[in-house]
Amino acid sequence: MRQTIVDVKNGMRTSPAEYVHASPNYQDAFWVLVPLGGNEFSLVESLQLDLHSIIAATCNFSEGNKIGEGGFGSVYKGTLHDGQMVAIKRLSESSRQGLKEFRNEVAVVAKLQHGNLVRLLGFCAEEEEKILVYEFVPNKSLDYFLFDREKQGQLDWLMRCKIIRGIARGLLYLHEDSRLRIMHHDLKASKVLLDEDMNLKIADFGMARICGVNQSRGNTRRIVGTYGYMSPKYALLGDFSIKSDVYSYGVLILEIISGKKNSSFYQSDYAESILSYAWRLWTDGRPLELTDQALGKSFHQNEVTRYIHVGLFCVQEDPADRPMIGTVLHMLTNFSVLLPIPKRPAFCVRSRTGQSTSELGREAVQSSSKSMPSSVNEVSITELYPR
């Protein structure tokens, strides 16, 4: 069924794609979906695979074919009957939607195609199973190279620049250029995959839609993400927007430059997080000390400093102070653009009790904790995702 959107507030009646372009702030409107006749049903049917084929492709989900596991489920390498290699994600019970809603959301996400996104090829929904089939990306994930002392050298500065800009291009497509505004919700190094030519592809975009997290709201009780990459307001209060992805992207920029994982700073005496570490070096006038030693001297100092500047700009505590991802990409590719002076970023860390706290918002959190809604925090622990 095709759907049209009726905007009760503005009296508009149009298709979802037209509505997004006509009203960029559609999240602030009151709208309902009205089903109409269309060809979406045939698209869903073309994407559907039977469970028998999935079982055969993965050798009955054997441990030998398992290549990743996280908050949404396990990932297996598989070979379809035509010889095509694929990555098969077997969803856990985190997908709380009915079959019809699941199929419709898969159809939406499958339409999103960009050179820096992993392609969703199909799905299976049989016998209580919900399964997604992705293109296979052979070179594992960015964290496999970035945080391994023996492999870091394979990522020279030109490669890291390419990865940083490519992630921004993928997010720009999701946030602004796709038919619908899609938020990733869990961007981190393990969600950036590398193909045989070391070109990056963002994985797991659209999982929030597929698993029933309402993206038209600004607040959720069901928090999906990873501590250290979630913006403080999202981690603490459930408030989210596309600026939440920008925050995660800023953390990732600093990780790519430093070769250090944000979680490596937890409970250390050196720094609370990569943000506090980078900010201290920045305010001391020593930003280049953040740079990964594996890079040697194979970079331009002004370029690295600018990328660190942009990273700090993305992790501002107030979402209004963070740039849109399109602006970020412009800053990274046009050195004539003057950059605003960053403010002290929000340091969102895990305490010894496992609770998420913000250094800048601790008092506010404590005063409002009794009235805060409870959250189901699906913290992802995935190391390797669909490839």
Query: Are 33 and 51 part of one and the same domain?
Result: no
Share of the chain above pLDDT 70, in %: 71
Q: Write out pLDDT tens, residues 214-233.
A: 554 455 555 566 777 887 77
Residue 149 shares a structural domain with residue 128: no
pLDDT interval class at 39 (50, 70, 90): low
Domain limits for position 52 = 44-135
Residues 43-88: tens digit of each pLDDT? 677 899 999 999 999 999 999 999 988 778 899 999 999 999 999 9
Task: Examine the domain organization and report whether 32 and 151 are in the same domain.
Answer: no
Q: Looking at residue 372, which CATH number applies to its domain? A: 1.10.510.10
Higher pLDDT, 124 or 355: 124
Domain CATH code at residue 72: 3.30.200.20
Same domain, 308 and 233: yes
The verdict on pTM exceeding 0.75 is yes
- Of 143, 186, 245, 292, which residue is the catalytic one? 186
How many structural domains comprise the chain? 3
Backbone angles phi, psi at 295, to 5 degrees: -80, -15
Distance separating alpha carbons of residues 235 and 224, to the nearest angstrom: 9
Going by their DSSP bridges, the two strands 356-358 and 348-350 should be labelled as antiparallel
Give the whole-angstrom CA distance, residue 63 versus residue 78.
12
- Taking CA atoms, 261 is separated from 100, 189, 205, 258, 381, in Å, by 39, 9, 21, 8, 14
Closest CA to 336 of 299, 306, 300: 306
DSSP letter string, 259-326 = ---GGGGTT-SS-SSHHHHHHHHHHTT-GGGGS-GGGTT-S-HHHHHHHHHHHHHHT-SSGGGSPPHH
Of the listed ranges 94-98, 258-262, 327-331, the least confidently predicted one is 94-98
In this predicted model, what pLDDT tens digit does every residue of 268-282 receive, in sequence order? 556 678 999 999 999
Of the listed ranges 187-191, 246-250, 298-302, the one predicted with least confidence: 298-302
Our answer to whether residue 186 is catalytic in this structure is yes
For residue 174, what is the DSSP state?
I
Does the pLDDT of residue 304 top 80, yes or no? yes
Same structural domain, 66 and 198: no
Average pLDDT, the chain: 78
222 and 238 belong to one structural domain: yes
Q: Are residues 15 and 49 in the same domain?
A: no
Chain segment 107-166, per-residue pLDDT in tens: 889 999 999 999 999 999 998 899 999 999 999 999 999 999 999 999 999 999 999 999
Same domain, 73 and 16: no
